[in-house]
Structure 1
Amino acid sequence: MANNPQKSKGWFAAILGITGMSALAGVIVTAMVAPAIAVTGVAANSAIGVFDALPEYIDLGEQAEKNTLWAWRSDNPADGHIRIAEVYWQDREEIPLERMSEHVINAAVAGEDRRFYDHAGVDATSVFRAALGNVLAGDIESGASTLTMQLVKNIFVQRSLYLPTEEERDEAYRQATATDFDRKLNEMKLAIGLEKRFTKDEILEAYLNIAPFGGNTYGIQAASQRYFGKIAQTLSPAEAASLIAIVQYPTTRNLSTADNYEANEERRNVILWSMWQEGYLTEAQYDEAVAIPVDSNFVQIAEPTNGCLAANEYAKFFCDYVVRNVENFESLGATPEERLDRWRQGGLDVYTTMNMDLQRTAQDRVWELVPNDLETIELGSATVSVEIDTGRILTMAQNKVFNDTEDGGGITATAVNFNTDRPYGGSSGFQVGSTYKIFALLAWLQRGFGLNEVVDASQFEQDQTEFLDTCADGGGPWGGIWEFKNSANLEIPSVSVFEATTRSINSAYASIAKELDQCEIRRVAEALGVHRADNNPLQTNPAAVLGTNEIAPLTMASAFGGIANGGKTCEPVMVDYFETTDGVRLAGQESSCRQSLTPDVAAAAASPMRGVVTGGTGTRANPGGDVPVIGKTGTTDSQVHTWMVGSSTEVATAVWVGNIVGDTSLRRISGGTVMRHDIFRPIMDRANEMYGGEAFPTPPARLQNGAGVQLPDITGLYIDEAIQLLEGVGLKLEVQAGAAGVVVSYEPAPGTLLARGQTVYVTLGEGGDDRDRFVPSTVMPNLISPARSEVEIRGLLQEAGIYGPLQAYCFEGSAGSDTANAEAIGQLPDAGSFVRIDVQVEVAMNCFAGAAPNPDEVLE
């Protein structure tokens, strides 16, 4: 504490006690505003009445303080946490007088209010001096502000900054800093009220903690650290006076720029002289202090400790993401405005979901593999991991370093978080390539189709008008010919859906999409939380199945986590809990999970996704070990963007490597197309070590074979007979060669389990009446006992080798008209009879009222 014991309040305090505040206030106000009274004709007793009507006091209140962000770290023996950032709305650290240099306290009193210990909030001597000056000037040019009055002004300034709208903030700030009669009058009375409620030390401490020191720096501790790189307790006389010189004109006297040095030094030397005159400095101390120039040797600007720019190098982007989500932290207030106010007040310990051990693995790997200083390509990379049954974000890394300053930090830096959506500091997302095929696979399975069903993979041109799209906002209507190719120009006539997934065959997935509603694919994606990073609707053009939508890595990791989590998707969260300065724990973000898919559909999709990692396009990304991982690769046209997204039953990870802007092929960079795998592998290896994982469930038989049709042998049939037979079982026929005759060959091979709607390509040749017309016979199974659905009946006929057309119709007395929601009650031919395998089967159904239940429908 300074060697300046509180002096007597003198005659001013005595008069105040004898005559009462109102009477003295009238004298003060009359003298203070004499010019205004002369101009306006306001009587002195009117001013006294106005003074009496003002509020008696103002609370000092708590000033905005830092919020501290923490991450989990296993090697911290204390509590398992590590500090990753200190985030201020205002750069301030409140400290008591005992932690301030005596030179600071003395400089404040000598430089701003010499009679601070003698007055009771308003300095009568200064008021009368200021009043005389105002009379001569004909206006209120001087306000004779004491430290207490300045404190009142600063409290109102701070309050203005908390208001919800810019208009309200601007107006309140204008009122707080106005030089008019009303504001000065209010300031005086509230200063007197403060002096009645608080000690001089409390007022001085509050003033030094609230005072502005330029930019976002408030309070003596933050100013000392900002401009001299030291704590306030160690300030020298010259340093202390230089800081106090800032408070009246923080814009033009702060020490952040050499342009202000001269003005600061001039005011500093005035304060030092006052300190000497008041006996706070010896003559030798004064001479030594004023001899020090305010220059670059005197000022020691310290790197900011505030904000995400100063955060732990591994956590800067995650820090920024947390700060940008404050409005969503419900425990901080009932409305977004209340949450922002609570955050600005500060004093919160924020315990985030980040796992610093796993984060280091992710970030080090990205920095190691993906350069951030290439000039030939704006190369970017991002990876994020989430805990799938909670949504907790465990990692968030990218190749560029974080820098949100005006100069941007150069080619190696960015303020854009590649992992997140645009509203939260992210980009507009990146095309996800073939990772999007998984949503078509899910829609396929929800329809009751199977993994083993074979689809056409021979076509590389599709008429877009033949694709169904019931979405009104998907960007359509779509027209024209869509041309595409397979990776490495692979040509294959047909392939199972399982293999189409593990080998990521574009032509096969075009056929899959053609059998679906494109809007149906989008609905599945949306059920898993998938959305475009720019918040526009997901496009539903036919090419979208190959990944033309631009999506953030965090979204993809969360969606794949939902598949691995038995169809239950959890929204990403980043805060476990908060703690206030007085030890009160506030809830963080509670996990919000929903059943997006049935467990059976999720299990069926996971089966080929496991194959992607164990022997398909993602083999290089396989972490191995005892914990199984599923996944899907993605590569856009010309290798502009590459992806690897996958999950165990505990942790999901998405990796993107590609062009930040532009369309340069990653093939031009050594290892460019495999970086994604080499990043994914060690991250998941470490995640598996830390979190473990279980085997994925076996998919049900009904989703392996689905509603597929075993292709009958049509060799030797006339073309019209072949067409009738194939259409009867739900297939199409296209003549590939020959103009007439009988079928001599065709693809796929007989016995292939084809998905309904697929095309059989035939070659016609010579043949006639002497050909073998024998058609095999078999026994007609019982289709009605027990009562069966249409899907079950088709399965029985398939098992019996009967490939003729099935005609199911509603019985006349049925309540409904949809055979999909019905049970068989009659059949022709009868059960047990011998029939040709191409026989037409008729089934009478008892159709129920209402929509047909779909057990694989997306659950909202």
Structure 2
Amino acid sequence: MSSSPDRRDPSRRAGRWLIGAALSLLMLAAGADAGRDRFDRWTDATPMPPLEVATGTQVLARDGSLLRGFQVGDGIWRLAPPESGVDPRFLQMLIAWEDRRFATHSGVDGRAVMRAALQAVWNGRIVSGASTLSMQTARLLERGPTADWQGKIRQARLAMALERQIGKDGVLALYLRLAPYGGNTEGVRAASLMWFGKEPARLTPAEAALLVALPQSPETRRPDLPTRRQAALSARNRVIDRAEAEGIIDAEAAASARNTPLPETRRPFPAHAALLADRLRRARPGDTVIRTTIDADLQRVTEALLSRAVTRYGSSLSAAAIIADHQSGEILAELGTAEYGSTPRDGFVDMTRALRSPGSTLKPFVYALGFDDGLIHPDTLIEDRPAAFGRWQPENFDLQFRGTVTIRRALQESLNIPVVRVAASIGPARIMAALRRAGMRVEMAGDTPGLAVVLGGAGVSLHDLVQGYAALAHGGRAVSLRDTPVPFDAAEKAPARLVSPAAAWQIGAILSQLPPPNGRQTGRIAYKTGTSYGHRDALAIGYDGRFVIGVWMGRADGTPVPGAFGGQLAAPILFDLFDAVGPESRKLPAPPPETIIAANPQLPASLRRFTAAGETSLARRSDGTVRDDPLTIAFPPDGAEIELMTENIPVRVRGGVPPFTWLLNGRPAAIATPDSATQIPGSPGMSELSVTDATGATRRARLRLIRP
């Protein structure tokens, strides 16, 4: 028994199938003309699949560019088109290639259907298709079979319903999200990022043509597979030919596009500020677009710098960095690990938020509080000699002692004994309270803070250290760092004051005179380095007139890095990052008017040499004999609350040797007064009062001044 002609000739069978589908579709069109109302009702009653196409979360830089995209729940790379849109030339090529009458048909192009059917019969094979962009979008939405004519009818009905419901622009937007590009990649944006490493807002003719050609057969036209490159090249060039014929590109552009090589590999999707993006996505699970304050260019430079830096020190070293604008609090670059995803470097651990020892980086805060309290001045002399604080006997990092030094030198050389002596007078609890006012979370082993905190005996994150230094850079007022824009209707809170502008300026002036690494210019950046016990953490934090930057280097698991010092590892990267900020960097500010700028001999006697808490300075007569009436503040008593009846408050001493110098909150209030009683100006709030006599003996009292 012989076979039928259709069974012997698959192309003829396909042609007959296509004619059947064509006649069915033409009957739909005829029915539409004969009975428009009934046809409209039938179209409107079309069962609609969900039109909300899930797209992966996008974390955007401040300029709207993509920092990192995420896959949708089923593992598909599908991203909404960029805010800047898709290259208009790509859209022109797409319509010219897929659906030239897209603007005029109602979802089904009857002329294209009949043409395709007649061509199939005449040639004995399928020469061209007849699916419109609307029908292709319907098929992509349904994700169902369309191999029979009933499937085509269903697809056509859905295409017409789509056009009636969401219009041409809506159909095109769905296609741009759903078009298949092979594997787990859908949509023109994901495809452009995968093949070209760029957004589809601006494409070359060759790039646009490839993105038009691939969805027709994405797996058989993969340009990254040698066996399929020729198919990809031929398909792309046919699109270029059509674009030239339609006048979308000229002959010269077409020739250049045909000679453009195809991409050879699939590119990884962007993963800048990857750990920050992870954190924001977890915090905002329902958001598909998350905007940040990150500067995309600065972020890429930061990632490149830190990646190069760690490669010099083996496979297990990691690094982290934060760059922020201390005027606005905006974080401009943040890198939690030097190599995201790296197992040897613990590339999934965010070292900007991990609690680590701050080393010596808390010392500036102690001295700033001492300046505010009138305990010290940058040129105050202090002893760097062996000392015991209870059972604790701290030592300097190099196990050496310098004898008598200035506070300035003690901070610049990061000496331990002087800062502990000052911290003992201020009190650990008050230091901790000040750090928390600056937005720093400091974790200790016990509930009660000890003096060891100031030498790194606590846990602080790099983020919080940078936030604390931002307060010093911002004139002593706390700065709240943020990585996302502030909503327009957000209420602004008055920032807390950490220290006075004068104290903050004095710290910056001291730190800016530290010799920079690699022979750079001194005085441009105030910075401090830190090295934790056992060389586990190397830190460098600095600021200029606008930016504050922090760098951490070490191993995420806390393993020591022998020989690692903050000044050697982290400081060079810190200055490289300041160089990367470029001309926007600003000079450090001038001193506030109330700042005491004087050499040690010109300072008030109480500020010439530091007297630690518990130490007694005996008043002596000119002949060297000891007076039996030591200096005492007779009024106001310590802890008093005084109503300000006028702008001045009365003060009085008992004993001591005149003249007397009075300071209120570290600022001179009355200098070298011969009498034991005088008046000094005051303002409401907690205040620290100190008096020094001619022998250098000093007494202090804390008081609260209130309005009646």
Q: TM-score of the superposition, structure 1-length normalised?
A: 0.50
In structure 1, what is the Cα distance between the partners aligned to 2:216 and 2:683? 88
Q: Does 1:442 align with 2:368?
A: yes
How big is each residue's C-alpha offset from its partner over 1:590-615, in whole Å with a ceiling of 9 and x where there is no partner? 998835235xx34334435533453x
Secondary structure of 2:495's aligned partner: strand
In structure 2, what is the Cα distance between the partners aligned to 1:353 and 1:564? 21
Secondary structure of 1:570's aligned partner: coil
Q: Does 1:678 align with 2:597?
A: no
- Aligned twin of 1:265: none
Q: Which amino acid aligns with 1:520?
A: R
How big is each residue's C-alpha offset from its partner over 1:232-283, in whole Å with a ceiling of 9 and x where there is no partner? 744798x65543999xxxxxxx99999xx9xxxxxx9xxxxxxxxxxxxxxx
Gaps of 5+ in 1: 27-50, 72-80, 107-114, 120-145, 158-175, 178-185, 247-253, 262-267, 269-298, 309-315, 329-335, 422-427, 464-480, 578-585, 712-750, 763-772, 779-800, 834-840
In structure 2, what is the Cα distance between the partners aligned to 1:527 and 1:64? 41
- Aligned twin of 2:250: none
Q: 1:543 to 1:689 in 2, by over 3 A?
A: same
RMSD: 6.4
1:291-370 paired onto structure 2 within 5 Å: 302-304=265-267, 306-308=269-271, 316-317=272-273, 321=276, 324-325=279-280, 340-343=287-290, 352-353=294-295, 356=298, 360=301, 366-367=306-307, 369-370=309-310
Aligned counterpart in structure 2 of residue 611 of structure 1, from 474, 496, 510: 510
Q: 1:845 to 1:818 in 2, by over 3 A?
A: farther
- Aligned twin of 2:630: 804
Aligned length: 564
How big is each residue's C-alpha offset from its partner over 1:695-742, in whole Å with a ceiling of 9 and x where there is no partner? 54166349999xx9969xxxxxxxxxxxxxxxxxxxxxxxxxxxxxxx
- Aligned twin of 1:389: 327
1:528-677 paired onto structure 2 within 5 Å: 528-531=438-441, 540-573=449-482, 594=495, 596-598=497-499, 601-607=500-506, 609-614=508-513, 618-621=514-517, 625=521, 627-667=523-563, 674-677=568-571
Q: Does 1:414 align with 2:347?
A: yes
In structure 2, what is the Cα distance between the partners aligned to 1:156 and 1:703? 81
How big is each residue's C-alpha offset from its partner over 1:53-89, in whole Å with a ceiling of 9 and x where there is no partner? x899789678859969568xxxxxxxxx896757466
In structure 2, what is the Cα distance between the partners aligned to 1:685 and 1:857? 47
- Aligned twin of 2:314: 374
Displacement of 1:819 after TM fit?
A: 6.9
Q: 1:201 to 1:486 in 2, by over 3 A?
A: closer
Aligned counterpart in structure 1 of residue 94 of structure 2, from 100, 114, 123: 100
Aligned counterpart in structure 2 of residue 218 of structure 1, from 172, 186, 195: 186
In structure 2, what is the Cα distance between the partners aligned to 1:510 and 1:829? 30
In structure 1, what is the Cα distance between the partners aligned to 2:304 and 2:265? 27
Q: 1:829 to 1:368 in 2, by over 3 A?
A: closer
Q: 1:512 to 1:105 in 2, by over 3 A?
A: same
Aligned counterpart in structure 2 of residue 524 of structure 1, from 419, 434, 449: 434
How big is each residue's C-alpha offset from its partner over 1:83-127, in whole Å with a ceiling of 9 and x where there is no partner? 675746634557876433988779xxxxxxxx96679xxxxxxxx
- Aligned twin of 1:515: 425
Are 1:807 and 1:843, in contact at CA under 8 Å, matched by a contact in 2? no
In structure 2, what is the Cα distance between the partners aligned to 1:390 and 1:849? 29
Are 2:318 and 2:553, in contact at CA under 8 Å, matched by a contact in 1? yes
Displacement of 1:854 after TM fit?
A: 5.9
How big is each residue's C-alpha offset from its partner over 1:409-459, in whole Å with a ceiling of 9 and x where there is no partner? 5647834453x32xxxxxx14321111122222333343422255566545
Bigger Rg over Cα: 1
Secondary structure of 1:638's aligned partner: helix
Are 2:473 and 2:504, in contact at CA under 8 Å, matched by a contact in 1? no
Secondary structure of 1:631's aligned partner: strand
Q: 1:688 to 1:244 in 2, by over 3 A?
A: closer
Q: 1:521 to 1:400 in 2, by over 3 A?
A: same
Are 1:453 and 1:754, in contact at CA under 8 Å, matched by a contact in 2? yes
Secondary structure of 2:324's aligned partner: strand
- Aligned twin of 2:668: none
Q: Which amino acid aligns with 2:185?
A: T
Q: 1:389 to 1:218 in 2, by over 3 A?
A: same
- Aligned twin of 1:782: none
How big is each residue's C-alpha offset from its partner over 1:542-601, in whole Å with a ceiling of 9 and x where there is no partner? 321112333343432342232122123433355789xxxxxxxx9799998835235xx3
- Aligned twin of 2:395: 485
Displacement of 1:644 after TM fit?
A: 2.3
Q: Which amino acid aligns with 1:513?
A: A
- Aligned twin of 1:693: 587
Are 2:188 and 2:211, in contact at CA under 8 Å, matched by a contact in 1? no
Q: Which amino acid aligns with 2:560?
A: T
Displacement of 1:806 after TM fit?
A: 1.3
In structure 2, what is the Cα distance between the partners aligned to 1:535 and 1:191? 65
In structure 2, what is the Cα distance between the partners aligned to 1:18 and 1:536? 85
Secondary structure of 1:757's aligned partner: coil
Displacement of 1:384 after TM fit?
A: 3.4
In structure 2, what is the Cα distance between the partners aligned to 1:844 and 1:525? 35
Are 2:303 and 2:335, in contact at CA under 8 Å, matched by a contact in 1? yes
Displacement of 1:758 after TM fit?
A: 4.0
Q: 1:809 to 1:234 in 2, by over 3 A?
A: closer
In structure 2, what is the Cα distance between the partners aligned to 1:195 and 1:365? 51
Q: 1:22 to 1:531 in 2, by over 3 A?
A: farther
Secondary structure of 1:656's aligned partner: strand
Gaps of 5+ in 2: 1-17, 72-77, 101-106, 112-131, 146-153, 198-205, 232-261, 660-674, 690-701
- Aligned twin of 1:243: 218
In structure 2, what is the Cα distance between the partners aligned to 1:435 and 1:462? 21
How big is each residue's C-alpha offset from its partner over 1:817-846, in whole Å with a ceiling of 9 and x where there is no partner? 81777844777689999xxxxxxx997999
Are 1:220 and 1:232, in contact at CA under 8 Å, matched by a contact in 2? no
In structure 2, what is the Cα distance between the partners aligned to 1:575 and 1:395? 12
In structure 2, what is the Cα distance between the partners aligned to 1:487 and 1:242? 67
Are 2:321 and 2:334, in contact at CA under 8 Å, matched by a contact in 1? yes
Displacement of 1:509 after TM fit?
A: 2.4
In structure 2, what is the Cα distance between the partners aligned to 1:562 and 1:644? 16
- Aligned twin of 1:714: none
